[in-house]
Amino acid sequence: MTRRRFLIEGIVQGVGFRPFVHRQAARLHLNGWARNTAAGLELELEGPAPALDDFLATLRTAPPPLAVIEDIRTQELAPTGETGFAILPSRQGAAATLISPDLAPCDACLAEMKDPKGRRYRYPFINCTDCGPRFSIIRRLPYDRPATTMAGFAMCPDCQAEYADITSRRYHAQPNCCPVCGPKAVYLDGNGVPRTGDPIAEAQRVLSLGGIVAVKGTGGIHLACRADSPGAIARLRRRKLRPDKPLALMARDLAAAKRLCHVSKDEAALLQSPRRPILLLDKKDPAGQYWLSATTRLGVMLPYTPLHILLLDGQSGGPDLVVMTSANRPGCPVLTDTREAVDVLRGVADGFLLHDRPIANRCDDSLAMVWRGAPVFFRRSRGYAPQPILLDRDATGILAFGAEQKGSFAAGRGRHAFVSQYIGDLKNAETLDHYRTALRTTLDLFGLPVRALVCDLHPDYASTGEAQEMARERHLPLRQVQHHWAHMAACMADNRLAGPVFGLIWDGTGLGEDGTIWGGECLIGDFRSYRRVGSVRPVALPGGDVCTAQIGRTALSLAMDAQCPAFAPDFERRDKVAALLCSGFRCPKSSGIGRLFDGVYSLLTGSVKAGYDGQAPALLEALAEGTAPEDVYISAYYEENGVRFFDTRPLIRALWQRKNAGAGAAGLAAGFQQALCRMALDQCRALNPDKLPVVLSGGVFLNRALLEGVTSLLEDAGYTVYTHKRVSPSDEGLALGQLAIAAAGV
């Protein structure tokens, strides 16, 4: 006989782990005990060594679905002859635990929901310890029902019996409920008046007729309509004031998704996983479904709540593919409150499928693409937050405030970095309020101490203002970190690298140490320091931030700089903008790759305005998709103040000459992207002769062609390349880098 202690860290509380351990112990005839601790779970088991090895293998390969095991440590002990198995009281301090994200229904719950003889037949809030709402319903720790938004729903005797039965999969399932005692769905008409009958059937009827229905999920409210009705989608765009942005889809199942998109094995696995993110999938017809997205890809997700599953089950003739986009005021966070939704969406939605379970924590849908078998996040939120990122160092007491346009924050406790869910653009007052609320909630919920603050270098970011205010109020030290260094550090922390590394950091904007706008940077450094060794020739932005919407201005600037002004498209006030460029007044310079994309897309297509930030880069990527690139790359560099700059002027002139010679815009767009990939290799060869590991970060690396092109060229040249895996390469993931820099000290 052998006795062994197991110390398990991660998300192992509130996820059915102790019943799981008990069942495994019974299966393997092991004796012992288990209890919660501040770090996770501690247990001692006694029995034959092969049985203990089997138990450890099961822990590693088949833990409970909601569990996330970060570390397992074992210790051999002397046998005691103990018999039986016991759940011991938690050790003092066990409140310092982790919370599972909201996850999709498990197979057992789905089977139960479809059983006409069961008491939860077609019940839209079915759940158990293996699935269902977690983060969206919790108000405080410890994770008990009174601390959740289920507090107002007292369990009936049948549910209470399940809750107390350690052999049940609902043992200590805090959201446990049924139609007798749990939340209920309701359907309201467009004026907010309740309708009688089956609320889901009524919503299906309205959708089938081409109507727009507001649907309340776990972390927010969506607007839904038929995906195959351009008329319904046109009404949705008009009413929501969203004329251009792509719209996400929810498909009944994988077969429905495959009607429109190619789905790889890895994509299918992630689509059907309990996390259920929106995935960007390649259209079968690249030019098809233009009313949903002007690019070659569609954002698709599968239903992630029982209510969604019932809504798309087709029993009342409803569609199996619907648009499912966030319900919100323009630029504001997704709505969560039922009354507010009816007030705000009156005249937008033709009906409301709602329920009476409050949402404690707003959480948008996660958005990702699969690249080399793993997700790359555009947005990390539902299904992933608030699961922390495990660091290679202690970050206790550090609070990082992130950037602005894709606001986020990160707080440290031990080796855990609690990175916020998706929040949005902090320039908007309502979004900034959401940021403040989420920050307070995270600090309070996880008992996170705050001893030091870190934020961006930019003095006008709202996040910088929040950090400065907290520093004054609490008399805490505040450190400001350069934007692109934080990006590099974020990728290092994401991959648990210590450095030094060579960073290719490509994004739209970020304040540089010299007061100019950076965004196409080559950095060398680690968590303690960095050097800027390479960049891209800055382009003047006439009028400053207005250029993000009026991309024709950036095109004119590039063309004038390359001495081919005839290349630029015509637009209103072009002569005055040209005069402004000549004067240099109100023309900040930017080395941002994102702005370079804006200008080149305008030059190639004649478009002079963008409907939303990032539209031009997305459309250029789509334009180039599947097209043989024109060879427009000319290796041209110059040095200033120890920084090696890629000279864009020969590239712009080459694009102009090829266009005049009859080359198509698609081939030129592909050639432009290829030129950037080759420039990355040139810079790395010139500036990284020691072949330091290369990290890629910044929102530009959400461009799949650049991500693959740069990575492949560098790997073929013998470099080791690291990309983001656990947080987004965009500004949303930047707070992780700020946190890691502050944790390393100076």
* Residue 659 · residue 604 · CB < 8 Å: yes
Q: Is the residue at 283 inside a domain? A: yes
Q: Is the residue at 371 inside a domain? A: no
Q: Is the residue at 600 inside a domain? A: yes
pLDDT computed for residue 93 by the predictor = 53
Q: Are residues 398 and 516 in the same domain?
A: yes
pLDDT computed for residue 745 by the predictor = 85
Q: Is the residue at 180 inside a domain? A: no
Q: Which uninterrupted H or E stretch holds 6? A: strand 2-11
Q: How far apart are CA 364 and CA 383, in angstroms?
A: 10
* Residue 244 · residue 294 · CB < 8 Å: yes
Q: Are residues 10 and 72 in the same domain?
A: yes
Q: Are residues 479 and 583 in the same domain?
A: no
Q: Are residues 643 and 510 in the same domain?
A: no
Residues of the chain with pLDDT under 50: 94-95
- The residue among 355, 372, 405 that closes a domain is 355
- The residue among 33, 65, 87 that closes a domain is 87
Q: Are residues 406 and 275 in the same domain?
A: no
Q: Are residues 297 and 218 in the same domain?
A: yes
pLDDT computed for residue 108 by the predictor = 96
- The residue among 336, 355, 374 that closes a domain is 355
Q: Are residues 738 and 677 in the same domain?
A: no
Q: Is the residue at 204 inside a domain? A: yes
- The tokens for 398 are 């550090």
Q: Are residues 313 and 211 in the same domain?
A: yes
**Residue-wise DSSP of 377-416:** EEE--TTTTTPPEEPSS--TTEEE---STTB--EEEETTE
- The tokens for 125 are 């809030």
pLDDT computed for residue 14 by the predictor = 67
Q: How far apart are CA 151 and CA 387, in angstroms?
A: 23
Q: Are residues 523 and 541 in the same domain?
A: no
* Residue 654 · residue 603 · CB < 8 Å: no
Which of left, alpha, beta for 710 (phi over 0: left; psi -120 to 50: alpha)? alpha
Task: Work out the number of other CB atoms within 10 angstroms of the CB of residue 463.
Answer: 27
Q: What is the CATH number of the domain that holds 493?
A: 3.30.420.360
* Residue 695 · residue 668 · CB < 8 Å: no
- The tokens for 85 are 């198995």
Q: Is the residue at 139 inside a domain? A: no
Q: Is the residue at 151 inside a domain? A: no
Q: Are residues 195 and 328 in the same domain?
A: yes
pLDDT computed for residue 38 by the predictor = 64
Q: What is the CATH number of the domain that holds 52?
A: 3.30.70.100
Residue-range definition of the domain harbouring residue 489: 388-532+729-744
Q: Is the residue at 443 inside a domain? A: yes
Q: What is the CATH number of the domain that holds 307?
A: 3.90.870.10
Number of domains in the chain: 4
Q: Are residues 513 and 552 in the same domain?
A: no
Entry pTM: 0.92
Q: Which of 328, 335, 326, 319 is nearest to 299 (CA)?
A: 326
Q: Are residues 622 and 507 in the same domain?
A: no
Q: What is the CATH number of the domain that holds 546?
A: 1.10.357.160
